[in-house]
Amino acid sequence: KYQRGYFMPPLTSFKWAQQEYVTTPPTWCSVDLRDGNQALVVPMSLEEKLEFFQLLVKVGFKEIEVGFPAASETEYTFLRTLIEQDLIPEDVSIQVLTQSREHIIEKTFKALEGAKRAVVHLYNSTSVAQREQVFKMTKEEIIEIAVSGAQLLKQYAAKTEGNFRFEYSPESFTGTEMEFALEICNKVLDVFEPTPENKVIINLPATVSMSMPHVYASQIEYMSDHFKYRDNVILSLHPHNDRGTAVADAELGLLAGGQRIEGTLFGNGERTGNVDIVTLALNMFSHGVDPGLNFENMLDITAGYEKLTGMKVHERQPYGGKLVFAAFSGSHQDAITKGMKYREERDCNNWTVPYLLIDPQDIGREYEGDVIRINSQSGKGGIAFLLEQHYAFDLPAKMREDFGYKVKNVSDQLHKELMPVEIKDIFVKEYVNI
């Protein structure tokens, strides 16, 4: 009952497992305005999409999927507004999604009129489940959909002046037999005839993630090893998060030959979401690799995201959550304060402070307020640290234990976190106003 009906036997190639971490950042493509937007309870308005686009540009995305212009009036108008008001920076390429139907492709190219650069992204579904249940088509018929769509893209692009590149996605790739996925991608590549100057993106989505990350990575490695025109193909990954492993899928997929990632800020997207690019990029940063995206001002990014999507960034969301650097417990506070002191006393290039994966300041978070936080679980070291940070007051070592208990008792009785000013007030009440 619980076993998936269409189980794809895992491949057993593990070349990717020889590497420790991703050393080269991929090309990042934000699909917030398409995959992310289509999953919102209330999709973004034109104004909200325009503001979100600016946010993505600020973060540093050079490829942004702006929508499915043939699918709705808002999507169409949004694209026209970007082009007509010249809102797309010179170094940014927009991307649009289309199905393989002539009237849709025609409308897509109409929406693109005047665009200087764009990726036109063609997809059709290839999985066993979709072929059998939804389309009731043979493999040959599914190939024909992809090939005829690719031919139309080529014809329409030839009639325009813009610099258009192509992308193809075998949607539901993870539910597709690998040999068939390879065959259909190679047939599409035969139509596009990629060259070094005009590379084609083949995007392999975990439309629904169905396997553990090492299986997805092995599938990526298999495809990467067998594509025709491999040097002229950009292998893109598009993991969704159904099994909660989209980040792991992406990381292993990059080790396995992926060169590009499609994902969203904080993992918004269909069902459990798309891969969270913030986490992926900052995981790279934590390994000393510059991801090429700018998260220096994380609080502004989370605020913009929450305002425009109506979604919340969870307090424990890696890197973006309000509480992800917070240490309430005494032993953690002690280790962090000692680690910080150790750094101060030495010329440390690497970040080695216990319990903190990265320096919170690198993404605009503060030690005061974001790291050492005081409640009934806290320790004397953390309490002394806050008095020093906020009031330049060096609590004498002999008083620390006694004062620590007093503060923790107050927090326990009030059943709440204490702010630095409250800690100072307790100090004054206990030791000054006697």
Binding residues for Mg(2+) are 35, 238, 240, 274
Total number of residues that touch ligand KIV (CB under 6 A): 10
Q: Are 118 and 83 in contact (CB under 8 A)?
A: no
Question: Which option in ligand KIV, Zn ion, none does residue 304 bind, with CB closer than 5 to 8 A by kind?
Answer: none
Classify residue 169 by its DSSP letter.
E
H or E stretch covering 153: helix 139-158
d(CA 229, CA 188): 11
Q: Which is nearer to Zn ion, 211 or 333 (CB)?
A: 211
260 near ligand KIV, rule: CB under 6 A: no
Q: Which of 320, 407, 315, 418 is nearest to 369 (CA)?
A: 418
Which of 32, 35, 249, 276 contacts ligand KIV by CB under 6 A? 35
b/e 232-255 (16+ beta carbons within 10 angstroms → b): bbbbbbbbbbbbebbbbbbbbbbb
Among ligand KIV, Zn ion, none, residue 123 binds (CB under 5-8 Å by kind): ligand KIV
CA distance 390 to 32: 40
Among 49, 131, 165, 240, binds ligand KIV (CB under 6 A): 240
Cβ atoms of 14 and 255 closer than 8 Å: no
127 binds, among Zn ion, ligand KIV, none (CB under 5 to 8 A by kind): none
SS (HEC) of 116-143: CEEEEEEEEECCHHHHHHHHCCCHHHHH
List the one residue from 32, 35, 221, 370 that touches Zn ion (CB under 5 A).
35
Specify the stretch interacting with ligand KIV by CB under 6 A; choose among 199-207, 356-364, 405-413, 420-428.
199-207
Q: Which stretch binds ligand KIV (CB under 6 A): 128-136, 200-208, 221-229, 325-333?
A: 200-208
The answer to whether residue 291 forms part of the interface with ligand KIV (CB under 6 A) is: no
171 makes contact, choosing from ligand KIV, Zn ion, none, with CB < 5 to 8 Å by partner type, with ligand KIV
* Pattern 152-181, ligand KIV, x by CB under 6 A: -----------------x-x----------
Of the listed pieces 180-188, 203-211, 228-236, 279-287, which binds ligand KIV according to CB under 6 A?
Answer: 203-211
In sequence order, which residues have a C-beta less than 8 Å from that of residue 259 and are 6 or more positions away? Answer: 26, 27, 234, 235, 236
Residue 144 binds: one of ligand KIV, Zn ion, none (C-beta under 5 to 8 A by kind): none
Say which entry of ligand KIV, Zn ion, none residue 408 contacts (CB below 5 to 8 A, set by partner kind): none
Per DSSP, the residues of 42-111 read SPPPHHHHHHHHHHHHHHT-SEEEEE-TTT-HHHHHHHHHHHHTT-S-TT-EEEEEE-S-HHHHHHHHHH
Helical segments of 200-245, H only: 213-226
Which among 67, 170, 174, 161 is positioned nearest to 116, based on CA atoms?
A: 161
* Beta-carbon contacts of residue 367 (< 8 Å; ≥ 6 apart): 340, 360, 361, 389
Distance of closest approach, residue 188 Cβ to Zn ion, in angstroms: 18
The residue within the footprint of ligand KIV, chosen from 165, 238, 243, 365 (CB under 6 A), is 238
Check binding of 123 to ligand KIV (CB under 6 A).
yes
Piece in contact with ligand KIV (CB under 6 A), picked from 22-30, 202-210, 216-224, 385-393: 202-210
**Residue with smaller CB distance to ligand KIV, 123 or 403:** 123
Partner residues linked to 370 by β-bridges: none
Tell which residue, 72, 73, 93, has the closest CA to residue 83: 93
Q: Which of 176, 207, 209, 268 binds ligand KIV (CB under 6 A)?
A: 207
**Which positions touch ligand KIV (CB under 6 A)?**
35, 97, 123, 169, 171, 203, 205, 207, 238, 240
**Which positions touch Zn ion (CB under 5 A)?**
35
